[in-house]
Structure 1
Amino acid sequence: MPKTHLSPLTLRSYSMFKILSAEFIGTFWLVLGGTGSAVFAAAYPTVGIGFLGVALAFGLTVVTMAYAIGHISGCHLNPAITVGLWVGGRFEASKVIPYIVAQVLGAILASSVVYLVASGKAGYSLADGLAANGYGEHSPGGYDLLSGFVIEAVLTGMFLMVVLGATHKLATPAMAGLAIGLCLTLIHLISIPITNTSVNPARSTGPAIIMGDWALSQLWLFWLAPIVGAVIGSLIYRWLCPNEETV
């Protein structure tokens, strides 16, 4: 198996504890960097980084972690990616649940840190948000449930195709992290106004657990749509590339 970002196991020489720790740390960084930029810097104080900056922040977290931990855990950082890689024949079924648990725990810790820092500002309230994902009245642009489901499923499906293609044995390994990070940036540029962009159930779970209320009640969508999209995208890629390497 070639040693490429997100390939199934470059991880052979690492203990499972270290592998899961890498996923925990990587997902922590993704959620801290992405949602932290949205909470702290998007509109600070009158001129902030805006949607473009937040989109770039999410992409940069993936790029940086790809080169930091890609050789340890594969740098999934996302339950939908983990499921999609399994469906795509790149990941072992026995590791899917442990990976997802590590990712969700990392995301919850990151959201806790974002909340701890944000609450140090006078007048801050959870009602101001933690960059949670939502639809309907909680969509930044007022998009409904159907719009949210469609965009999350379609974009996650395309994300999986990029991941599987960029990490293919015939691709250029050194460029995989950059391609995947730029894809995530593009995804955010498209969908921040619609759902605040998930395509990652762990990223959605962290803020929802801290906020509770509507964010928790709408969380189901940000598990269902990305995983459905990931499965479809992976199946399409396997059809396009029937000679794909498998674990």
Structure 2
Amino acid sequence: MSVETEPQPLAAELVGTLVLVFFAVGSAVLAGEFIGSLGIAVAFAFTLIGLAFILGPLSGAHLNPAVTFGMLLAGRMDLITAVMYWIAQFIGAFAGAALLFLVAKQVPGLSTHEAFGSNGFSDRSAVGLSLGGAFVAEAILTFLLVFVYLSVTRSYLLRGHDAIPVGLTLGVVNLIGIPLTGAGVNPARSLAPAVFAVGAALTQVWLFIVAPLVGAAVAVVVHRLVHAQDENWLSDWDWQRVGRGRAR
């Protein structure tokens, strides 16, 4: 059975993205005024580290369409698998955002309109970052995250302590990015809360879908330049295909 037809990796991506949105984005929505940007960044880091440890060997714990896009461009996944990952990630993100929205509505005085952990630029940026600045920031921050994913792995999967650098990187990305744009770097994480926040959050969300994909593409190019000596190995995906070919 090929990877793209196995339900386990797709279930891992769906559940993992759900948990990431509910707990990490939830830290901003439900506790942001108490824990601040540092606390939110730590929540993102610890959530991804925990999920990567348990889901990394199953699906790679991408939990982010930009990471999957990077794996696709790097030749570590085929298009069918990547598309199915994206579907699972977006379903998980919307499910997590829906659950978070239900909880948020039970908190007296908590407004979700144009907020709800969504991302933004101009007047929706804490520092008033322009559209162009937000695009560059999101691309660079996503570049770092995808570059680390590609560098610590030799396939689309995470194994063992690979979870630590990717989780810490997401924490750093949020620590820097929260004042700038709210730190999207994940099209699924950005789109789902924006749909529930509506208003300007929804009209600006296009940037937080496009810029991370650009950053992921740049990460693939830079990784191939920096780690050219590592491009001779076959990834787990390639080994599986070779093995199936020999079996025939």
Task: Note whether the superposition's TM-score is higher than 0.5.
Answer: yes
**1:12: Cα distance to partner?**
6.0
User: Aligned ranges for residues 28-177 of structure 1 at < 5 Å?
Assistant: 28-43=18-33, 48-127=34-113, 129-168=115-154, 173-177=159-163
- Is the 1:152–1:229 Cα contact (8 Å) retained in structure 2? yes
**Off by >4 Å, runs of 4+ in structure 1:** 11-15
Distance change in 2, residues 1:237/1:14 (3 Å): closer
Distance 1:14 1:72, change over 3 A: farther
Aligned residue pair count? 231
Cα distance 1:128–1:220, how it changes in 2: closer, same or farther (>3 A)?
closer
Distance 1:190 1:22 in 2: 28
Q: CA deviation at 1:152?
A: 0.5
How far the C-alpha of 1:16 sits from its partner, in A, is 2.3
Partner of 2:243: none
Structure 1, residues 76-102: CA drift from partner, whole Å, max 9, x if none?
A: 100000000111222222211111111
Q: Where does the alignment leave 5 or more consecutive residues of structure 1 unmatched?
A: 1-10
Q: How many Å separate the matches in 1 of 2:206 and 2:176?
A: 21
Deviations 1:161-180, CA, capped at 9 Å, x for gaps: 111111138xx942210000
Q: State how far apart, in whole Å, the 2-side matches of 1:226 and 1:74 are.
A: 18
Query: Where do 5+ consecutive residues of structure 2 fail to align?
Result: 239-248
> Does structure 2 retain, via aligned residues, the 8 Å contact 1:133–1:215?
yes
Q: Does the CA-based 8 Å contact 1:161-1:237 persist in structure 2?
A: yes
1:21 equivalent in structure 2: 11
Contact 1:32–1:113 (Cα < 8 Å) also in 2 = yes
- Kindly indicate whether the alpha-carbon contact (under 8 Å) linking 1:166 and 1:173 is maintained by their aligned counterparts in 2: no
Q: 1:14 to 1:85 in 2, by over 3 A?
A: closer
- Distance, in Å, in 1 between the alignment partners of 2:177 and 2:52 is 23
Could you list the per-position Cα deviations for residues 116-152 of structure 1 after superposition, in whole angstroms to 9, with x for gaps in the alignment? 1111122333237211001111112211111110111
State percent identity of aligned pairs: 37
2:180 is paired with a residue whose SS is helix
